[in-house]
């Protein structure tokens, strides 16, 4: 999937969350990812999405046999999930909410520790050939495929084997799967050719046979790449490369991810899912390191409004409110939280490798003109937005890749230097650029700023809109919002441009801690 994004403004994110007294850290499983997104997808900052936010459905469809019961019957961490995960299929994950739950239920070949260093998960070790083109991963043999059946009993089906990795990687690459994240596997020989093949004219089966991944035995996976990629062990940490239990997919088709059907290999499995209302996962007693997993049940309601989430937290109906998943504290409440003697002690603000940004639609006026894009970017006072609206100690970005990512240039003040200039000087420059482009004081500009439904996103959009209106008084700037699933469809590359907003809110959270994931995977438009 090639993305066409014009950078408008960026804020390096920090994650804000509240944990009730005695509460644990918000992650229910042992440390597995440093700052994963997403990842893709997507996790943001104190204002996050992600990257996923959906309105609760009018009627919730309940699936699953799990009885949650009194939350204190078991060690339960109650949270607001924030948005309904669009999928629990590792190959189809593109948003942060889905990514979060999938990473609790599955493990891949590798993962990341708290310092974003690649660590073994399913793989015990790996090596690369001298030419850098062949990576060999050696697997442990004590990880089981597990199903929680309709009676609430856990069944160990069989060990995870190398063939499960091969199956999953090829399934993600297969164009019939329509995995939006298949492009992260294009480093593998034959992957791009197979994934981009025309389903009507190409011999897809033959192309899939040329994909460079194989399992010479049950504990060895070999990848052949198109070019050396030192970060490849980070790539296979993505959910797109997670092993899968083919038998469940063959038996249940798209329904394989439902409670009672889903087969997982990680610390948790799906307990109950009420679409649009709630989701819960439960500790797997058959997980190899089950004794180290302290939280037995994790999950909660799906609530789109951060203010409602805050009320639930203060009434002790949820134990934690944070941005992964769910929302961070409501922006209007940040001052109160920081000065409250109890809430201030429960507030945690931590770095997060995400960038919150607005993008332009370059394919139609006025943002087909680079000077108009520059003008709108210069006219945003990022620091004021952080200090007076978001208040989560974010960092005003002058480049796309945040600190903490290998290859970032956040400390190089010569890059994006115009964004570091005095704001008054930037406004003057922005007005001059707009006049040169034929839009003096914004005259003739009538654009839509779009965002997915969220109180925080709406507040940020309104403040930015006011900045633009003050700088360009003749411009017409309208704000529109859509619930998450509709918003994703609107921004899909296949959607017609006439349906897309001129400016759109988005975010990128690291899939793996290398600038290649930000520059190549986001902006590559070949």
365 and 514 part of one domain: yes
* Whole-angstrom distance, CA of residue 161 vs CA of residue 143: 9
Distances (CA, A) of 423 to 148, 382, 420, 467: 57, 9, 8, 11
Residue 262 lies in a domain: no
What is residue 317's predicted lDDT score, i.e. its pLDDT? 94
Whether residue 280 contacts residue 271, with contact meaning beta carbons closer than 8 Å, is answered with yes
Residue 80 lies in a domain: no
374 and 504 part of one domain: yes
* Whole-angstrom distance, CA of residue 461 vs CA of residue 356: 12
Q: Which pLDDT tens digit goes with each residue over 292-339?
A: 999 999 999 999 888 999 999 999 999 998 867 777 888 899 999 999
* Whole-angstrom distance, CA of residue 486 vs CA of residue 150: 33
Residue 341 lies in a domain: no
Buried b (16+ CB within 10 A) or exposed e, 179-212: bbbbbbbbbbbbbbbbbebeeeeeebeebbeebb
491 and 361 part of one domain: yes
Query: Could you list the residue range(s) of the whole structural domain that residue 404 is in?
Result: 352-523
Out of 242, 262, 279, pick the residue that ends a domain. 242
What is residue 22's predicted lDDT score, i.e. its pLDDT? 45
368 and 512 part of one domain: yes
Whether residue 30 contacts residue 292, with contact meaning beta carbons closer than 8 Å, is answered with yes
- For residue 399, the tally of other CB atoms under 10 A from its CB is 20
Distances (CA, A) of 208 to 211, 244, 304: 5, 17, 41
Residue 455 lies in a domain: yes
Residue 503 lies in a domain: yes
Residue 13 lies in a domain: no
Number of domains in the chain: 2
380 and 501 part of one domain: yes
Cis peptide before 366 (omega within 30 of 0): yes
Nearest to 213 by CA among 141, 143, 164: 164
Distances (CA, A) of 502 to 174, 358, 516, 518, 526: 33, 10, 27, 22, 23
Q: Residue 414: give its domain's CATH number.
A: 3.10.105.10
User: Token pair for residue 203?
Assistant: 């011999």
362 and 216 part of one domain: no
Residue 11 lies in a domain: no
pLDDT in tens, the chain (526 residues): 333 334 455 555 555 566 665 443 333 333 333 333 333 333 333 333 333 333 333 344 555 544 444 544 788 999 999 889 999 999 999 888 999 999 999 999 999 998 888 999 999 999 999 999 999 999 999 999 999 998 999 999 999 999 999 999 999 999 999 999 999 999 999 999 999 999 999 999 999 999 999 999 999 999 999 999 999 999 999 999 999 999 999 999 999 999 999 999 999 999 999 999 999 999 999 999 999 999 999 999 999 888 999 999 999 999 998 867 777 888 899 999 999 999 999 998 887 888 999 999 999 999 999 999 999 999 999 999 999 999 888 899 888 998 888 888 888 888 888 888 999 999 999 999 999 999 999 999 999 999 998 889 999 999 999 999 999 999 999 999 998 889 988 998 889 999 999 999 999 888 888 888 888 878 765 4
366 and 509 part of one domain: yes
369 and 518 part of one domain: yes
Out of 173, 207, 242, pick the residue that ends a domain. 242
Out of 197, 217, 242, pick the residue that ends a domain. 242
Buried b (16+ CB within 10 A) or exposed e, 345-384: ebbbbebbbbbbbbbbbeeebbbebebbbbbbbbbbbbee
Residue 272 lies in a domain: no
């Amino acid at each position: 999937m090639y993305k066409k994004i014009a950078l408008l403004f960026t804020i390096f994110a920090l994650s804000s969350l509240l944990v009730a007294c005695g509460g644990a850290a918000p992650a229910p499983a042992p440390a597995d990812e440093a700052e994963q997104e997403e990842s893709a997808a997507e996790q943001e900052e104190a204002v996050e999405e992600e990257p996923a936010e959906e309105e609760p459905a009018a009627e919730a469809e309940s699936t699953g046999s799990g009885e949650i019961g009194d939350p204190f019957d078991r060690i339960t961490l109650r949270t607001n999930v924030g948005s309904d995960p669009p999928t629990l299929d590792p190959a189809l994950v593109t948003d942060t909410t889905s990514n979060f739950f999938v990473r609790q239920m599955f493990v891949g070949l590798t993962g990341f520790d708290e310092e974003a260093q690649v660590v073994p998960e399913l793989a015990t070790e790996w090596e690369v050939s001298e030419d850098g083109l062949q990576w060999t991963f050696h697997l442990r043999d004590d990880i089981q495929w597990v199903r929680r059946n309709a009676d609430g009993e856990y069944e160990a089906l069989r060990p995870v084997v190398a063939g499960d990795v091969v199956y999953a990687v090829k399934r993600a690459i297969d164009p019939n799967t329509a995995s939006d994240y298949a492009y992260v596997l294009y480093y593998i020989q034959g992957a791009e050719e197979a994934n981009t093949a025309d389903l009507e004219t190409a011999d897809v089966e033959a192309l899939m046979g040329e994909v460079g991944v194989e399992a010479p035995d049950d504990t060895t996976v070999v990848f052949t790449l198109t070019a050396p990629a030192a970060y490849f062990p980070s790539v296979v940490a993505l959910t797109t490369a997670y092993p899968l239990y083919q038998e469940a997919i063959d038996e249940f088709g798209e329904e394989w991810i439902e409670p009672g059907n889903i087969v997982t290999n990680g610390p948790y499995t799906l307990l109950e899912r009420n679409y649009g209302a709630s989701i819960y996962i439960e500790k797997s007693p058959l997980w190899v390191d089950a004794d180290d997993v302290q939280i037995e049940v994790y999950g909660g309601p799906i609530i789109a409004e951060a203010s409602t989430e805050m009320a639930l937290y203060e009434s002790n109906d949820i134990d934690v409110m944070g941005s992964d998943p769910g929302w961070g504290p409501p922006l209007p409440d940040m001052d109160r939280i920081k000065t409250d003697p109890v809430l201030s002690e429960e507030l945690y603000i931590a770095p997060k490798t995400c960038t919150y940004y607005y993008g332009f639609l370059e394919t139609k006026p006025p943002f087909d003109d680079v000077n108009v894009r520059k003008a709108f970017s210069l006219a945003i006072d990022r620091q004021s937005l952080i200090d007076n609206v978001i208040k989560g100690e974010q960092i005003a970005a002058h480049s796309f890749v945040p600190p903490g990512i290998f290859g970032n240039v956040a400390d190089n003040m010569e890059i994006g230097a115009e964004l570091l200039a005095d704001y008054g000087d930037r406004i003057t420059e922005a007005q001059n650029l707009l006049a040169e482009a034929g839009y003096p004081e914004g005259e003739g500009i009538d654009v839509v700023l779009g965002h997915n439904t969220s109180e925080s996103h709406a507040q940020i959009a309104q403040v930015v809109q006011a900045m633009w209106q003050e700088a360009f008084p003749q411009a017409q700037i309208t704000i529109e919002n859509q619930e998450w699933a509709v918003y994703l469809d609107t921004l899909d590359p296949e959607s017609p441009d006439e349906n897309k907003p001129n400016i759109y809110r988005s975010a990128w959270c690291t899939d793996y801690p290398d600038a290649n994931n930000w520059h190549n995977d986001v902006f590559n438009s070949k």
